[in-house]
Each structure stands twice: as structure tokens, then as C-alpha cells.
């Protein structure tokens, strides 16, 4: 992801980043910036949070206003991330403002300390470059590494800001398909705050007081052998929201290494061949930020998840 920063550019903290350390937020926002440069900009007061000097460990919150100098990430944050050497993503929609891609499982979305080249952002850039187009893309939301499905990327800072605001205001609809343990009710809503914690048992967020408001709804599409196939809709976009919420109601996603049930996952993997969490971003809908055109995109389950459903005997979603 490339982020062009002018002198004293201002960034509003989106809901999905609330509770994150300032230094880590900047590292994610500018993945090619050096940590020493980020720390220097913060400690010298050139980075301001709500107009005040701050510390690297300060926690940012939704709606906070971050002021950045133009010199931030001069050694890397303004460059496009490295292009990938191959393309595994599938292009579902494109125009001059944005693209929508279908992400396979196992692909990291953005560059980081352990993944610098073969990322979704790098593959999107390569895909555009091959078509003779500008390779610069901007992330506005994310999918976990082992979650597959639809992701929208902006092709300019202006569209990135517009899409980020739409996500924050609930103007983008996202639906996921998940296979969970147990027989769920036919439909339900989960409105439980989620707080970021130290990674107890490998989990990054936990339901509880003091957390950020989070709302998830679901409908049971099918069930068999003590498993339920769900269509899950997000009203908010917190980190690991679906995974944490479904665990909270006693129906964790099958194959989920962080929030699932270890014994159930092992037995399910041996019997049905599931090697990752059964979670797929299947539908994405929004009004185009420039034209207002309604965009509705659907992604079918990938082959590995279809195979699991066939083995279990559950019909796939229609």
C-alpha cells in the first residue's frame, strides 16, 4: 500500500484500527517505512495526535485525528510496495478509481517484517502493471491470511479516504460464509464489545467490558452432523470480529487456530481435510464513491471449502 503524504496531512483513525499502538498503526499504514524513522517522527513531536505530542505506545481510538509531516516515511512509505513475482488473486471488478479482487487463502494482504514481496498488494500492483496501468493501490480494509474472498482496493488517496469513510459509516455491506461447530439457531445477532488483549491462548481480541462496540448477525444456511453453515454479516469491522463473536456464542469457526476448539479442529481436519479456518468473504456491496453506481459482487466458495462441504454432506450456499 502506498500512502502519499503532503505537509501536515491529516488522517482520521478508522474503527478497525481503534486500540492499536500509534507506532504499530503507522507501521501498518506505511509498511515500507523504517521503524527508526517512525519513532523519530513521533518522539520529536512531528507526529501529533489530536493536536498534541504523543508517545509511540499511545493507543489510538476511532475518530482520533493524526497529523503527519510530509517527510514521514520518505525512505519508503511513499513508494509502492514491491511487486509480486506471480498473481494468485482474481480480478472481479475494476475501473479508474478502484479494483475488487478475490483473495485465495494463505496470502498475506500487506507487506510486513516477515512478508515483503508476495502479498496481495504486490500482486494487485503486478496485475495492473501487466495491463499497462499505474500499479499503485491503497488498502482500505483487510482479510486475515487464511481467510479467502473479496477485498476492495483504492487506486488513489482520494478514493481510499472515501472508501475508508464508507466503511466507518457502515456504507459498505460485507457478507461471509462460515462453517461452525454445533447447531446454531436459525438466525441471530451478536452485540458484544471486543477488547484487544495480550495474546492469551493466541487470541488477539476478547469479548468484555471496556471493549469497542461490535455487532454481527448471522443466518443458518444449512446444518448436518452437528455443524452449521452460516451466512454472516458485519455491522462493524473490528479485528477478528466474526471469529471472536462466534466463539463467544459457543459456535467457533471450524479450523480456526486462534479461536476454535483444538480437538474438534484436529478431528475435522483428519476426517474432512480442512487445513484452515472455514471463513470466506462471499459478498461485497457499496455505492461507487465517484459515480454513486451500485456495485454488488459475489464470490463462490474456493475449491478447498467446497470439497469440505461435499465430504460433510452439506449443500453449498446458493
Residues 14 and 95 in one domain: no
Amino acid 8: pLDDT: 57
Q: Return d(Cα 277, Cα 306) in angstroms, integer.
A: 13
Amino acid 44: pLDDT: 83
Amino acid 78: pLDDT: 44
Looking at residue 252, the DSSP 8-state letter turns out to be: P
Q: Return d(Cα 309, Cα 288) in angstroms, integer.
A: 34
Looking at residue 16, the DSSP 8-state letter turns out to be: G
Measured distance between the N- and C-terminal CA atoms of the chain, rounded to whole angstroms: 34
Domain boundary among 124, 152, 168: 168
Domain boundary among 168, 193, 211: 168
Assigned domain for 202 exists: yes
Confidence of residue 7 (pLDDT cuts 50, 70, 90): very low
Domain that holds residue 119: 90-168
Assigned domain for 273 exists: yes
Residues 121 and 198 in one domain: no
Q: Return d(Cα 61, Cα 35) in angstroms, integer.
A: 21
Residues 163 and 194 in one domain: no
Amino acid 73: pLDDT: 41
Assigned domain for 76 exists: no
Question: 4 pLDDT exceeds 90?
Answer: no
Assigned domain for 43 exists: yes
Calculate Rg over the CA atoms of the chain: 20
CATH number of the domain that 142 lies in? 3.30.2350.10
| pLDDT 10s digits, 19-29 | 888 988 887 77
Report the length, in residues, of the chain: 318
Question: 33 pLDDT exceeds 70?
Answer: no
Amino acid 309: pLDDT: 96
| pLDDT 10s digits, 46-86 | 899 999 999 988 999 988 998 887 655 443 344 455 666 77
Task: Report the percentage of the chain scoring pLDDT > 90.
Answer: 52
Residues 199 and 269 in one domain: yes
Which grid coordinates belong to 313?
Answer: 454432506
Amino acid 80: pLDDT: 53
Confidence of residue 241 (pLDDT cuts 50, 70, 90): very high
Residues 130 and 184 in one domain: no
Question: 139 pLDDT exceeds 90?
Answer: no
Instruction: Decide: 76 and 33 in contact? Cβ < 8 Å.
Output: yes
Residues 148 and 275 in one domain: no
* Better-scored residue on pLDDT, 8 or 37: 37
Amino acid 114: pLDDT: 59
Q: Return d(Cα 58, Cα 52) in angstroms, integer.
A: 12
| pLDDT 10s digits, 99-135 | 999 999 999 887 654 555 688 988 998 888 888 888 7
Tell me the three state secondary structure of residue 102: strand
Residues 179 and 143 in one domain: no
Residues 137 and 218 in one domain: no
Please tell me the pTM assigned to this model: 0.77
Amino acid 245: pLDDT: 97
Domain boundary among 168, 186, 218: 168
Residues 193 and 304 in one domain: yes
Total count of domains within the chain: 3
| pLDDT 10s digits, 154-163 | 998 788 888 8
Catalytic residues: 144
Assigned domain for 200 exists: yes
Q: Return d(Cα 120, Cα 126) in angstroms, integer.
A: 10
| pLDDT 10s digits, 246-262 | 999 999 999 999 999 99
| pLDDT 10s digits, 194-218 | 987 755 555 678 888 888 899 999 9
Amino acid 237: pLDDT: 85
Residues 272 and 190 in one domain: yes
Instruction: Decide: 221 and 231 in contact? Cβ < 8 Å.
Output: yes
Confidence of residue 2 (pLDDT cuts 50, 70, 90): very low
| pLDDT 10s digits, 163-177 | 888 988 889 999 999
Residues 178 and 235 in one domain: yes
Amino acid at each position: 500500500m502506498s500512502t502519499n503524504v503532503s505537509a501536515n496531512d491529516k488522517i482520521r483513525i478508522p474503527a478497525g484500527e481503534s486500540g492499536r499502538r500509534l507506532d504499530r498503526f503507522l507501521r501498518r499504514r506505511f509498511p515500507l517505512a523504517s521503524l527508526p524513522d517512525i519513532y523519530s517522527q513521533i518522539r520529536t513531536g512531528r507526529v501529533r495526535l489530536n493536536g498534541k505530542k504523543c508517545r509511540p505506545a499511545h493507543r489510538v481510538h476511532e475518530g482520533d485525528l493524526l497529523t503527519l509531516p510530509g517527510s514521514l516515511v520518505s525512505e519508503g512509505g511513499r513508494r509502492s510496495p514491491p511487486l509480486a513475482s506471480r498473481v494468485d488473486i482474481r480480478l472481479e471488478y475494476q475501473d479508474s478509481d478502484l479494483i475488487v479482487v478475490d483473495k485465495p487463502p494463505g496470502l498475506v494482504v500487506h507487506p510486513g517484517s516477515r512478508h515483503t514481496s508476495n502479498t496481495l498488494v504486490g500482486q494487485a500492483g503486478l496485475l495492473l502493471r501487466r495491463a499497462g496501468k499505474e500499479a499503485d493501490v491503497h488498502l482500505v480494509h483487510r482479510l486475515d491470511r487464511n481467510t479467502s474472498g473479496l477485498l476492495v482496493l483504492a487506486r488513489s488517496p482520494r478514493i481510499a479516504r472515501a472508501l475508508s469513510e464508507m466503511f466507518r459509516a457502515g456504507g459498505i455491506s460485507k457478507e461471509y460464509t462460515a462453517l461452525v461447530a454445533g447447531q446454531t439457531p436459525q438466525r441471530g445477532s451478536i452485540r458484544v464489545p471486543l477488547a484487544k488483549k495480550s495474546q492469551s491462548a493466541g487470541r488477539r481480541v476478547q469479548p468484555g467490558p471496556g471493549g469497542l462496540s461490535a455487532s454481527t448477525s448471522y443466518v443458518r444456511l444449512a446444518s448436518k452432523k452437528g455443524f452449521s453453515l452460516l451466512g454472516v454479516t458485519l455491522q462493524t469491522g473490528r479485528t477478528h470480529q466474526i471469529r471472536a463473536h462466534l466463539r463467544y456464542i459457543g459456535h467457533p469457526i471450524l479450523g480456526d487456530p486462534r479461536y476454535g476448539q483444538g480437538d474438534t479442529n484436529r478431528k475435522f481436519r483428519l476426517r474432512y481435510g480442512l487445513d484452515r479456518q472455514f471463513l470466506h468473504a462471499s459478498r461485497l456491496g457499496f455505492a461507487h464513491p465517484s459515480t454513486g453506481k451500485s456495485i454488488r459482487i459475489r464470490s463462490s466458495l474456493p475449491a478447498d471449502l467446497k470439497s469440505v462441504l461435499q465430504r460433510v454432506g452439506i449443500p453449498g450456499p446458493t
